[in-house]
A and B are shown apart, each in its own frame.
Chain A
Amino acid sequence: MNVIKGFATTFKHVLEESVTLQYPEQVRPFQQRYKGRHHLRRYDNGLEKCIGCSLCAASCPADAIWVEAAENSDEERYSPGERYAKTYEINMLRCIFCGYCEDACPTQAIELGHEHQLSFTDRRDVIFTKEMLIDPVPAGGQDTPQQVAPGAFNRSIPDMENPK
């Protein structure tokens, strides 16, 4: 008797609409709040939002982030603040995608995006460098380092708006 009951359940589900997606051909839409791999953001004019403060690294529970900072000058400007990240690396093997780095960042420079296809064949490939993380220069913006007018940026930490 139980056998029939079991098969009945199976047949019932065979007739139901399938919930399986044919990944990777089919991809489910992401929730807006999904936390995938990180992006380093830029302002509209191309300057980097990251000011190399290492707070993301300090807040990271997995110790996945490595930041080395350097000082901006008007001849070679990367960010509107006083310092910028000379080295910025995230070890995606360690990262637990908690988003604490995003919370800690005072300039909203680091944001977790939607990419989740992070498989690799060499351990070294999981160290995402600054070049890999940073957004492309937006249209109308300029790549960094930029040469700017002396004194145009005189705050240590930029106000949170697009610099004019």
Chain B
Amino acid sequence: MVKIYIDDREYDVPAGMNLVDAAKWHADNDIPVFCYHPKMEPVGMCRMCLVQQGAIEKDRATGEVVLDEHGQPKVRWMPKLQTACTQRVTDGMVIRTNTAEVDQARQNVIEFLLTSHPLDCPICDKGGECPLQNLTMEHGPGMSRMQFQDKQHLDKHVPLGDLIYLDEERCIQCARCVRFQDELVGDDVLAFHERGRRLQIITNSNPGFDTYFSGNTTDICPVGALTTADFRFGARPWELTEVPSIDPFDAAGSNISLSIRLDRDFGGKAMIKRVMPRQNESVNEIWISDKARFGHHFTRSENRAQSPMIRNANGQLMQTTWEEALKSVASILKAAGKDVAAIAGSQMSNEDLWALREVMSAVGSTRLGAWPITHAGADLVAQVGVGVGSNLGDLGKGDAVLIIASDLEEEVPIWRLRLKLAKERGVFLAVANARHTRMEDFATACLRYDYGMAAHFLSNLRAENPDLAQQLAQANNLIILTGAEGLSLDGSRALMQAAANFLIETGHVGKPNNGLLSTFPGPNGMGQYYMGFTPENTQDIMINPPKVLIVAQADLYHDDPSASQWVHEVETVINLTLFADETLSHEAHTILPIQSFAERDGTFTNGERRVQRFYTAQGPIADALPAWQVLSRLGEKLGRGKAKLSAATVMADIAKNVPAFAGVTYKEISNVKRQFPDVGGRDLYYGGTAYQNRGGLGVQLKTTAESGEAINTAPVELVNAPRSQAGQMLIVPTTVLYNRERTFLPSALMHPRVMMPYAEINSADAAKLGIKSGDVVEIVADTMRVRVKAHVNGGAPEGSIVLPRHLTTEAVPMTMTLGRVSKVD
């Protein structure tokens, strides 16, 4: 701690802290900034932060403070004003922010910026939450001395890619956007072009602004120069109501804020106008991926299921009331005896899953399946997951992270962003996969193994990669982050066990920033586990289909090419779904429309086991109800006691019955505390328009390792992966962020960014099969037959075909399999 003096008051601040940050955090003194951003290195470009700076004079010889004639410490002032953003606090620093000279300087900078600003405020999307507007009101001259009309005119409608528009006139050239892309994200796709007043932002990638994080630049742009194609003119910021929510797409559980407003086109109901980041420094800081930001349109898809439907004697689906539908389902379940199973998708909230489990216990079945069945080992995450208080942002020198069998940028983009930054802080970042992934661009060490051999690789790490093993073992903190690329479900379990063993053996469990993380698909992979839903059960359900199957928010046919076979053996399918037009609807006996995350309350448990809450934002769709409510009412009909009336009471039930959730309440999940940096307050100029967290920081569940139980290693059951052989190749399904899943497809503005169906093939294999890049190939495996474009670009190791999931309308195998590839003429 050092002593500094701001406006003649003394403050203790940590040594080396940025002066703007220190003044704001410790002295509640908002030094105005444009180019400085607390998450980025200062550049001192805009001169808005000028302050008078001096230092208490000390005698060189004695080190004594020199006193003036009044007996006060003597201050040696710098001859000119200094930019606060480029200063780090030192002992005895003296700052004045309220002198006439400083006021004048601020006025001058504002006046200068406004000489060529178009003053589009009445229609500008930033108007109302604009740093330039706010600072002009606070520090501006009030009148312009420039009476000329011929301001510099530049293009006002420049698409930087499909998602972001640039208004060149509004840009004040602070370079926040350029620096964000370059320094933080590592996708260096923006640049300055031209000079002086003509200076403008350009994108140098093809397609334009090619990054998964572009939306964040619109938050940190201190003017309305960057706007999103999604929100553009959707509403004025002051007309919006902010509702805290959670990104429904991946295991990071990014905190988001849904900006809602009533809308005529949505029947006069509240509608999501834009999705903004909500600060949670342990989860997503103030960033969200473009998928989280622009992927909300599925909640208003015209294909949303409207009302309960029951198939009549003629095999036609007929609309009915909830009461009728639930009565019918209850009698079906009673008639089926115990021969009932349930499969729940990972967008189901904890409450939904619990209510489903209650229904299942009412009928006496324990066949609770999790969907999809790609990632195993959630139980190991519950044992040796990253400890309570973990924060990828805390990792630094001496720490290590191993990412294995995952294409992290595509699977959990926020983790990729935060780990890239961790690497730059000195973390040893090892990336192991069978092919090149984007994460390797940021890695300290890149390792290769053959597809299917991830568990072997990790089990034999000490023998075969002693250096790496030692690096990891000796790290102060170690996180192993696993995916399931190129693995069967058993293979995924083996990998998780191998990872857990390594962590246990090297003592990296039961502590913050140590342990296991996995890229479970969807926002509630861990919730599925805690509520008793496992992929192993699902596998069993697929092999021995039950008489009655309850499917809840799981798009079986789009995810699994063999679905048509095993679902057919089920006598009665009860489908709780968002969408009326799923293929499963043709099979289903009953369709029960449920609400998406945007329309109701609930919680998700993210990959770090953080239980986080989302709130009711959007108006309801027709008769759809929250899944927990539907299931709870069904439970009542099956004799499980009175139906629950709110999600909070379901959570109370969970807390009572699921040991890991003991003591978790909505109240506790909703607790917030002050976070550094202090963004989202009234002073939007400081950190951008990310929102302050008012919805809760969530509660991280304890791992078994932390509750003091001894955790032992277990043998790794290695499974032999299939090998490519005569004419047969390995078909490796992978994840791509932008795809054609039911929950993403309705976001039409993303369509240009979704790749046409393709498969990557090695050049050696391509030569053998006479395939060139761009050829259409047919891939046949088990029950799958798809036609895709071949990409011969070195992306796939020899003998394997990398086939992204959910790009084709037909399902792609969930796990790696053997198949044949041929060229289509």
Chain A positions near chain B (C-beta within 8 angstroms): 51-55, 57-58, 68-71, 81-83, 86-87, 106, 154-157
Contacts and interface: CB of A to CB of B under 8 A. Distances in A.
B233 A156 contact: no
Nearest to A70: B233
A157 B122 contact: yes
Contacts of B234: 69
B156 A156 contact: yes
A53 B127 CA distance: 10
Interface of B: 118-120, 122-124, 153, 155-157, 167, 232-236, 238-239, 263-265
Contacts of A156: 118, 120, 123-124, 156, 167
Nearest to A72: B233
Nearest to B238: A58
B62 to A, nearest CB: 63
A71 B123 CA distance: 10
Find the residue from B118, B119, B239 having the highest chain A CB count within 10 A.
B239
B259 to A, nearest CB: 14
9 contacts: A51-B123, A52-B123, A55-B122, A58-B239, A69-B123, A82-B120, A82-B156, A83-B123, A106-B122
A66 B375 CA distance: 49
A54 B263 contact: no
Given A154-B153, A157-B122, 5 more contacts: A69-B233, A154-B156, A155-B156, A156-B118, A157-B120
Contacts of A58: 236, 238-239
B233 A71 contact: yes
B123 A82 contact: yes
Contacts of A86: 264
A106 B188 CA distance: 39
Contact of A54 (B120, B156, B236, B264): B236
Contact of B233 (A83, A87, A155): A83
A57 B118 CA distance: 23
A71 B125 CA distance: 12
A81 B155 CA distance: 14
Contacts of B156: 82, 154-156
A90 B626 CA distance: 35
B732 to A, nearest CB: 43
B264 A53 contact: no
A68 B263 contact: yes
B123 A53 contact: yes
A54 B124 contact: no
Contact of A52 (B124, B233, B264): B233
List 10 tightest A-B contacts by C-beta distance, closest first: A156-B120, A53-B122, A106-B122, A83-B233, A69-B233, A54-B236, A87-B264, A53-B123, A83-B123, A71-B233
Contacts of B233: 52, 69-71, 82-83
Contacts of A53: 122-123, 236
A136 B450 CA distance: 73
A82 B122 contact: no
Contacts of A87: 264
Nearest to B124: A156
Nearest to B169: A156
Given A54-B236, A58-B238, A68 B264 contact: yes
Contacts of B265: 68
B173 to A, nearest CB: 19
B66 to A, nearest CB: 56
Nearest to B157: A82
Contacts of A57: 239
A87 B238 CA distance: 18
Contacts of B157: 82, 154
Nearest to B154: A154
A81 B264 CA distance: 22
Contacts of B263: 68
A79 to B, nearest CB: 10
B269 to A, nearest CB: 13
Contacts of B235: 54, 68-69
A82 B169 CA distance: 14
